[in-house]
Structure 1
Amino acid sequence: MTDLLNSIYPWIKALHIMAVLAWMAGLFYLPRLYVYHAERAVVGSELDQTFQVMEEKLLRVIMNPAMIVAWIAGLIMIGLGAFDWGSVWAWVKLLSVIGMTGAHGWMAARRKEFAQGQNTRTGRTYRLFNEVPTVLMVLIVIAVIVRPF
């Protein structure tokens, strides 16, 4: 059984990294779409409809599945003993991933507001929010690779 776990661990890790890359691409791109949507599209216009299709497909087809796969693969790796719960880096990563999931949820809620023609936020808000996934990604990578704490 140990041989089986040792042989699948690299595959689970590879799957986790691929899913995180896809998820992060969406987390970086969706707020940029919101910036242009908020600044350039009039509710009900053809441009508004175009942005809504792009945002919905990005979220539903790429981001949601990637987030789910990243979480499942991460939990499997935790189950296989990849985390040292006595180390601060593991907690920093876990809390940052929870924060990333919260950011994802915030973006999904904003998509629904755009779809209902009820966005009240400016492009500036979305520009600022675009930095949240970046900061969390930096924390995660440093925590996992450098392990300074």
Structure 2
Amino acid sequence: MSEFQLLQWFKALHLAFMVAWFAGIFYLPRLFVYHAESKEPLVHAQLQIMERRLLFFITPFAILTIVFGTGMLWIYGLGWLKQMHWMHIKLLLITFLVAYHIYCFHLVKKIKRSAHFRSGRWFRIFNEIPVLALFAIIILAVLKPAIGT
């Protein structure tokens, strides 16, 4: 397999796992909203199960997104990375998204102890963070703006 073919496979897998990761990372905070706004103990119990399972289900997608993205960076090389300032911003946003994902583990534990420690409105706003990050990442990856040159 040529380096170009390998790059294309990494890119395809990176995008597929990224879509799966984001599907979950968009839905999980919506479950938090339902949890915060419900007063029914049975609903809380069901949502706790759904939240935990979803988070553990999407975590491998996040890891594989990073693995194949790192593989692409490896193929492009350090020289390319040093020159592509837009990629530095993208990597910063990805680091932020990984922190967001890890923070969701904290939220799942905290919601289990107290379903109403944050409002539904707070979780709605929290839910918009990955949407904004995704828009910025896609714009950077597609337009590859000349930043800092």
TM-score by length of 1: 0.89
Q: How does 1:1-149 map to 2 (within 5 A)?
A: 4-42=2-40, 45-61=41-57, 63-81=58-76, 84-117=81-114, 119-148=116-145, 149=147
Structure (1/2) with the larger helix percentage: 2
Identity, in percent, stands at 32
C-alpha change, 1:4 and 1:41, in structure 2 (3 Å) is: farther
In structure 1, runs of 5+ residues without a counterpart are none
8 Å contact kept, 2:35–2:47: yes
SS at match of 2:121: helix
How many residue pairs get aligned? The number is: 144
8 Å contact kept, 1:90–1:143: yes
8 Å contact kept, 1:92–1:139: no
Task: Quote the Cα distance in structure 2 between the aligned partners of 1:12 and 1:116.
Answer: 40
TM-score by length of 2: 0.89
Moved over 6 A (4+): none
In structure 2, runs of 5+ residues without a counterpart are none
Task: Quote the Cα distance in structure 2 between the aligned partners of 1:41 and 1:78.
Answer: 48
The RMSD of aligned alpha carbons is: 1.6
8 Å contact kept, 2:34–2:120: yes
SS at match of 1:112: helix
